[in-house]
Amino acid sequence: MITCKFCGTELQFVGEKEKETFFNCTHCDIVFPLADTSVDRKRKLSIPEYLVDADIYLPTKKLLERDTVTLYHILKETRSFWFNIKKLLESMKVHYKDNEIPQSDEGISDDLKSLKDEFKLLTKQKFVVENILLERTGFFPEKLTQEFLNDIEVQGVTASSKPMYIYIK
């Protein structure tokens, strides 16, 4: 039985268009393509089966298309790379007068300039992913540990495995 992925109601066949089959949920008042439906009141798995890629340089529009769990992985990778560049820039302060890296482009080597540009880009990317997560979940973790990621995945699999049946005792 084909059911609504949100409420578990049995869907009604609407028709086909361009080789795609559509169904209607009378409760939610939404028409779904077959790929967006559920079967036998089972929930869709909220955790991706595998991480497609954790590309930290994806444009914002592409990041918005990613699922939340993948965004947590991307944020972890982005923060890690960002922190490494930050540490490198801070260690370079030792080589400059007054322990400050020059802000103007004059006298800065190409390598240092590209490192500073990379740090600015990664900082913006970090903000983008954090803000998408903040908008979706209401928070973003200050520290992303493997334990946190594992816990989210376990909770997601557990929640996704609960069928949508209405019981009245």
**DSSP three-state, residue 121:** helix
Q: Which amino acid is at 160?
A: S
In this model, does residue 64 exceed pLDDT 60? yes
Residue spans per domain, the chain: 2-39, 60-160
- Hey, what are 104's tokens? 């103007």
Residue 90's pLDDT band, with cuts at 50, 70 and 90, is: confident
pLDDT at 100 over 80: no
pLDDT of 36 strictly over 70: yes
- pLDDT at position 130 is 96
- DSSP state, 34? G
Cα torsion at 63, 69, 73, 74 (round to 10°)?
Answer: 10
Predicted pLDDT of residue 31: 97
Average pLDDT over residues 6-13: 95
Q: Summarize the confidence of residues 85-114 as an average pLDDT.
A: 73
| pLDDT at residue 98 in the model | 58
Write out pLDDT tens, residues 108-150. 677 788 899 999 999 999 999 999 999 999 999 999 999 999 9
Give the pLDDT mean for 15-42. Answer: 95
What are the DSSP E strand ranges found in the chain? 2-3, 12-17, 20-25, 30-33, 38-39
Instruction: Give the integer Cα–Cα distance in Å for 130 and 115.
Output: 22
Is the pTM above the cut of 0.75? Answer: yes
Res 81 pLDDT > 60: yes
pLDDT score at 94:
72
Name the pairing type of β-strands 20-25 and 2-3.
unpaired
Cα–Cα distance for residue pair 129/140, rounded to 1 Å: 9
Average pLDDT, the chain: 88
Q: How far apart are CA 103 and CA 117, in angstroms?
A: 12
Please check the confidence at residue 105 and state whether its pLDDT lies above 90.
no
pLDDT at residue 46, rounded to an integer: 73
